[in-house]
Amino acid sequence: MTLLCTDGHGKGIGVHFQTVNNQKKEVIMPIVIVEMKEGRTVEQKKQLVAGITTAFVKIGAPAEAVRIILKDIPKHNFAVGGKLIWEETTYG
Protein backbone atom coordinates (compact mmCIF):
# COMPACT_ATOMS: atom_id res chain seq x y z
CA MET A 1 0.00 0.00 0.00
CA THR A 2 1.33 3.42 -0.92
CA LEU A 3 0.11 6.47 0.95
CA LEU A 4 0.78 9.95 -0.43
CA CYS A 5 -0.35 13.16 1.22
CA THR A 6 -0.42 16.21 -0.99
CA ASP A 7 -1.99 19.60 -1.44
CA GLY A 8 -3.18 18.59 -4.90
CA HIS A 9 -0.10 20.08 -6.54
CA GLY A 10 2.46 17.60 -5.19
CA LYS A 11 3.66 19.98 -2.47
CA GLY A 12 3.01 17.98 0.69
CA ILE A 13 0.10 18.49 3.08
CA GLY A 14 -2.02 21.43 1.98
CA VAL A 15 -2.58 24.34 4.32
CA HIS A 16 -5.34 26.89 3.98
CA PHE A 17 -5.80 30.06 6.01
CA GLN A 18 -9.18 31.18 7.32
CA THR A 19 -10.06 34.38 9.13
CA VAL A 20 -11.98 33.73 12.33
CA ASN A 21 -12.85 36.68 14.60
CA ASN A 22 -10.40 38.88 12.67
CA GLN A 23 -7.58 36.41 13.28
CA LYS A 24 -5.89 34.39 10.58
CA LYS A 25 -6.07 30.67 11.39
CA GLU A 26 -4.12 27.90 9.64
CA VAL A 27 -6.30 24.96 8.54
CA ILE A 28 -4.72 21.74 7.29
CA MET A 29 -6.44 20.56 4.09
CA PRO A 30 -4.77 17.32 3.00
CA ILE A 31 -5.40 15.23 -0.06
CA VAL A 32 -4.48 11.62 0.70
CA ILE A 33 -3.91 9.18 -2.14
CA VAL A 34 -3.89 5.50 -1.19
CA GLU A 35 -2.67 3.00 -3.77
CA MET A 36 -3.29 -0.63 -2.86
CA LYS A 37 -3.73 -4.03 -4.40
CA GLU A 38 -7.33 -4.59 -5.46
CA GLY A 39 -9.57 -6.82 -3.41
CA ARG A 40 -10.70 -4.76 -0.40
CA THR A 41 -14.41 -4.66 0.31
CA VAL A 42 -16.38 -1.42 0.47
CA GLU A 43 -16.62 -1.93 4.25
CA GLN A 44 -12.82 -2.21 4.54
CA LYS A 45 -12.42 0.95 2.47
CA LYS A 46 -14.90 2.78 4.73
CA GLN A 47 -12.85 1.74 7.77
CA LEU A 48 -9.63 2.86 6.09
CA VAL A 49 -10.91 6.33 5.16
CA ALA A 50 -12.43 6.78 8.63
CA GLY A 51 -9.07 5.95 10.22
CA ILE A 52 -7.12 8.27 7.93
CA THR A 53 -9.59 11.09 8.57
CA THR A 54 -9.35 10.55 12.34
CA ALA A 55 -5.54 10.73 12.17
CA PHE A 56 -5.68 14.12 10.43
CA VAL A 57 -8.35 15.42 12.82
CA LYS A 58 -5.94 14.61 15.68
CA ILE A 59 -3.36 16.96 14.17
CA GLY A 60 -5.81 19.79 13.59
CA ALA A 61 -7.46 19.21 10.22
CA PRO A 62 -11.23 19.58 10.07
CA ALA A 63 -12.76 16.25 9.03
CA GLU A 64 -14.60 17.95 6.18
CA ALA A 65 -11.27 19.21 4.78
CA VAL A 66 -9.69 15.75 4.44
CA ARG A 67 -9.83 14.47 0.86
CA ILE A 68 -9.01 10.81 0.19
CA ILE A 69 -8.53 9.10 -3.17
CA LEU A 70 -8.42 5.29 -3.20
CA LYS A 71 -6.73 3.61 -6.16
CA ASP A 72 -7.13 -0.14 -6.61
CA ILE A 73 -4.19 -1.64 -8.46
CA PRO A 74 -5.03 -4.86 -10.35
CA LYS A 75 -2.75 -7.79 -9.49
CA HIS A 76 -1.67 -8.00 -13.12
CA ASN A 77 -0.42 -4.37 -12.90
CA PHE A 78 1.77 -4.84 -9.81
CA ALA A 79 5.12 -6.62 -9.67
CA VAL A 80 7.56 -7.59 -6.92
CA GLY A 81 10.99 -9.02 -7.62
CA GLY A 82 10.45 -9.05 -11.36
CA LYS A 83 7.21 -11.06 -11.23
CA LEU A 84 3.61 -9.96 -11.41
CA ILE A 85 2.03 -10.60 -8.03
CA TRP A 86 -0.79 -12.67 -9.54
CA GLU A 87 1.96 -15.17 -10.50
CA GLU A 88 3.21 -15.35 -6.91
CA THR A 89 0.94 -16.82 -4.25
CA THR A 90 3.20 -15.19 -1.63
CA TYR A 91 1.99 -11.73 -2.66
CA GLY A 92 -1.38 -12.57 -4.18
Return the active site residues: 30
Secondary structure of the chain in the HEC alphabet?
A: CEEEEECCCCCCCCEEEEEECCEEEEEECCEEEEEEECCCCHHHHHHHHHHHHHHHHHCCCCHHHCEEEEEEECHHHCEECCEEHHHCCCCC
